[in-house]
Amino acid sequence: MPYESIFLNKAVDKKIKSGVPWVFQDEISSAAKLPLLETGQLINVVDTKGVYVATAYYDPLSKIVCRVLSYTSNEKIDQKFFAEKIEVALERREETIKENFYRLFYSEADGIPGLIIDRYGDYFYIKLGANGLERYLDFIVEALKPLKPAGIYIKKMAGIEIIGSIPDTLEITENNTTYFCSVKEGQKTGWYFDQRENHLMIANLSSGKRVLDVFCYNGGFGVIAAKHGATEITFIDSSKMALGFCQKAILANTIVSKVSYINEDAIDAIEELVSRNKQFDIIVLDPPPFIKRKKNKASGIKGYEKLLDAALPLLAPKGLVFFSTCSHHMQMSDLLKLIQQFASKNGRKAEVLRKTSQAADHPVHPHLPQTRYLNGVLVSFG
């Protein structure tokens, strides 16, 4: 074991040995030694008897001070290690996704905690979600070279780096539909690849339907719904840039549906539509995370209830609502409870037709429920 060692408290030995890749500050018994370690330095995590448990990198600026890279004591954490991890992730994506636009690497679930890589054809977005990971950035960039990137956009914990060039607007293809986004100015990493399968689900229900896409962002749901024969699409978003990308995508896909764009706060826009007695056969509600911290869960749930309450008058008889939440604090059981209580409160009968989660390029780590953060339900309100 060539690295410095830190000792786990006895209470967490089994947790880390079982495969949990995070060690918190208060879970180690050698805290006095930690200030001597460098950010990103490789260390051995050992149990109370000094027996090897894992190899991790050190992050002194996080509550998670050690993030596990390997459970094999003699495994080298070098260029080859990173290249092999990324190659395995690439192979898994290419088995199920035929278009070269996807989340290539998803952090802990793919074996390198803190690392996210999104692929936009010949362009790549790297997000470093932990301070210590920057120490291995050269290895990560080198591992992408076989894919011949035209440009790499790197978001570090502090600052941005661009290798090559990145266009202000990227054209992507998802489910055989053309979209546009910006990794420089867009939300998160530019596009919501996690909704790929849900976009297609809505599209397959949309022929001959009137569709309302609330918090539409760049049109992931609405554009493909229009392409699949929706008669009317209404996009709502507070971002002019996002709606501009929706318009661009509508033109690129030669859509013939009646299309409207509303650049307002979601609740205000919904209330305006209600005042006009508008009706929709499918309403998509895909809001940003209302619950960013566990302590805010109760207030966040009230926000989701307010959104449902505002939108329900717009739902046509026999219509469907797709409600999605991207807060890991709002698990599927919470979402089902919300729908049930909301329906009961409003004298309605809710039938959950489908339960959904994130797309296959966002795998779930079995020991980290946080990695299953996207939950959605397709609901009929009787």
Tell me what the pLDDT averaged over the chain comes to: 94
| pLDDT score, position 31 | 66
Fold of 170-381: Rossmann fold (3.40.50)
For residue 277, pLDDT beyond 60: yes
| pLDDT score, position 10 | 84
Report the 3 state secondary structure along 94-106.
HHHCCCCEEEEEE
Fill in the amino acid letter for 154: I
For residue 86, pLDDT beyond 80: yes
Q: Identify whether the C-beta of residue 255 lies closer than 8 Å to the C-beta of residue 178.
A: no
Measured over the CA atoms of residue 344, residue 347, residue 351 and residue 354, the dihedral's sign is: negative
| pLDDT score, position 29 | 86
| pLDDT score, position 108 | 97
pLDDT band at 23 (very low <50, low <70, confident <90, very high): very high
Convert the pLDDT of each residue in 318-353 to its tens digit: 999 999 999 888 889 999 999 999 899 888 899 999
Residues 6+ away with beta carbon under 8 Å from 101: 119, 120, 121, 172, 173, 174, 191, 193
For residue 1, pLDDT beyond 60: no
Fill in the amino acid letter for 349: K
Unique residue bearing structure tokens 């009646």: 258
For residue 35, pLDDT beyond 80: no
Residue 271 is encoded by which pair of tokens? 């209330």
Residue 193 is encoded by which pair of tokens? 């690849």
DSSP 263: -
| pLDDT score, position 138 | 98
For residue 315, pLDDT beyond 70: yes
Fold of 79-164: Transcription Regulator spoIIAA (3.30.750)
pLDDT band at 32 (very low <50, low <70, confident <90, very high): low
Unique residue bearing structure tokens 């749930």: 301
SS3 state of residue 118: strand
For residue 12, pLDDT beyond 90: no
Average pLDDT over residues 271-300: 91
In angstroms, rounded to a whole number, what is the distance separating the alpha carbons of residues 178 and 196? 13
Average pLDDT over residues 153-176: 97
Asked which of 3-7, 32-36, 80-84, 370-374 is least confident by mean pLDDT, the reply is 32-36
Going by C-alpha positions, the residue among 117, 6, 1 that lies closest to residue 362 is: 117
pTM of the model as a whole: 0.94
**Partners of residue 120 on adjacent β-strands:** 101, 123
Q: For domain 4-70, give the CATH superfamily.
A: PUA domain (2.30.130.10)
pLDDT band at 296 (very low <50, low <70, confident <90, very high): confident
| pLDDT score, position 3 | 86
Q: Where are the domains of the chain?
A: 4-70, 79-164, 170-381
Burial of 146 (0-12, 13-18, 19+ CB in 10 A): exposed
Q: Identify whether the C-beta of residue 246 lies closer than 8 Å to the C-beta of residue 221.
A: no
| pLDDT score, position 33 | 66
